[in-house]
């Protein structure tokens, strides 16, 4: 599945860009929420998510790069999130946070920074719908892919199989047409791509190409 990241869209023409994504083969729309504390950048918040929801025809995959994300689970549900992903590094009571996300009727995701080992998810594998492996340090679009991600995907895939979990592996950061096929071979299920899609000359075709890669 391909999930275009709105962070690379033209914020002055959000409706146009979301409608463009509606016309592609994308499965989810990826939305990056940054608080300027967990990551050194501020993106946008709940009112913008609500505005996106009005036009998007595919599920909203909301990636929270905020500290103590458990404080805002209901608010994100009410603003249109379908999948809600929190960072393992930002939520002390991760198990409870995951339960709360699911009890609000959303799919639950956990994201791991590049330095966080996949083994840290062992005890919650069967409670998760999505595991987002960051392939850049979160905070900005347009960074270079970290090659160590391939081995992380392979290890995580093995852990998921062994646990009998149905969690999907999502890769976020520096994904492009050069690495998409290798990521899929390694075991990735969902590819998030911002710049590769929105800054391409033909974003609709780029989504198809990434999907076929």
**Residues in the site for ligand DX5, rule: CB under 6 A?**
5, 7-8, 30, 32, 63, 136, 138-143, 172-175, 192-196
Q: Where are the beta strands (DSSP E) in the chain?
A: 2-4, 29-34, 60-65, 83-87, 107-112, 130-134, 168-172, 190-193
Taking the complex as a whole, how short is the minimal distance between the CB of residue 170 and Zn ion, in angstroms?
A: 9
Cβ atoms of residues 81 and 57 within 8 Å = no
Taking the complex as a whole, how short is the minimal distance between the CB of residue 41 and ligand DX5, in angstroms?
A: 8
Has 32 been annotated as catalytic? yes
In terms of CB distance, is 73 or 192 closer to ligand DX5? 192
* 173 Rama class: left (phi>0) / alpha (psi -120 to 50) / beta: left
Query: Which two three-digit tokens encode residue 12?
Result: 């002055």
DSSP state of 143: P
CA–CA dist 205, 2 (Å, integer): 12
Taking the complex as a whole, how short is the minimal distance between the CB of residue 39 and Zn ion, in angstroms?
A: 10
Cβ atoms of residues 62 and 31 within 8 Å = yes
Taking the complex as a whole, how short is the minimal distance between the CB of residue 31 and ligand DX5, in angstroms?
A: 9
In terms of CB distance, is 137 or 163 closer to Zn ion? 137
Query: Which two three-digit tokens encode residue 204?
Result: 């609709």
Site string for Zn ion, 34-63 (x = CB under 5 A): -----------------------------x
Binding partner of 69, given ligand DX5, Zn ion, none, CB within 5-8 angstroms per partner class = none
Residues 171-190 that bind Zn ion (CB under 5 A): 172
DSSP state of 11: G
- Catalytic site positions: 32, 172
Q: Which residues bind Zn ion (CB under 5 A)?
A: 32, 63, 172
């Amino acid at each position: 599945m391909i999930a275009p990241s709105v962070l690379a869209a033209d914020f002055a023409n959000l409706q146009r860009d979301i409608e463009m994504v509606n016309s592609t083969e994308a499965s989810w729309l990826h939305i990056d929420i940054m608080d300027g504390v967990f990551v050194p950048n501020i993106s946008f918040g709940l009112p913008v998510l609500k505005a996106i929801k009005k036009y998007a025809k595919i599920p909203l995959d909301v990636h929270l790069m905020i500290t103590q994300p458990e404080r805002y689970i209901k608010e994100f549900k009410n603003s249109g999130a379908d999948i809600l992903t929190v960072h393992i590094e930002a939520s002390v009571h991760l198990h409870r946070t995951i339960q709360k996300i699911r009890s609000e009727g959303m799919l639950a995701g956990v994201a791991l920074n590049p330095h966080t080992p996949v083994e840290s998810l062992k005890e919650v594998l069967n409670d998760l719908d999505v595991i987002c492996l960051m392939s850049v340090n979160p905070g900005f679009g347009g960074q270079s892919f970290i090659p160590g991600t391939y081995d992380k995907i392979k290890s995580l895939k093995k852990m998921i199989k062994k646990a009998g979990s149905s969690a999907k592996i999502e890769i976020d950061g520096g994904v492009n047409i050069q690495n998409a096929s290798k990521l899929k071979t390694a075991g990735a299920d969902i590819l998030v791509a911002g710049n590769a899609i929105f800054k391409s000359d033909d974003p609709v075709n780029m989504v198809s190409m990434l999907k076929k890669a």
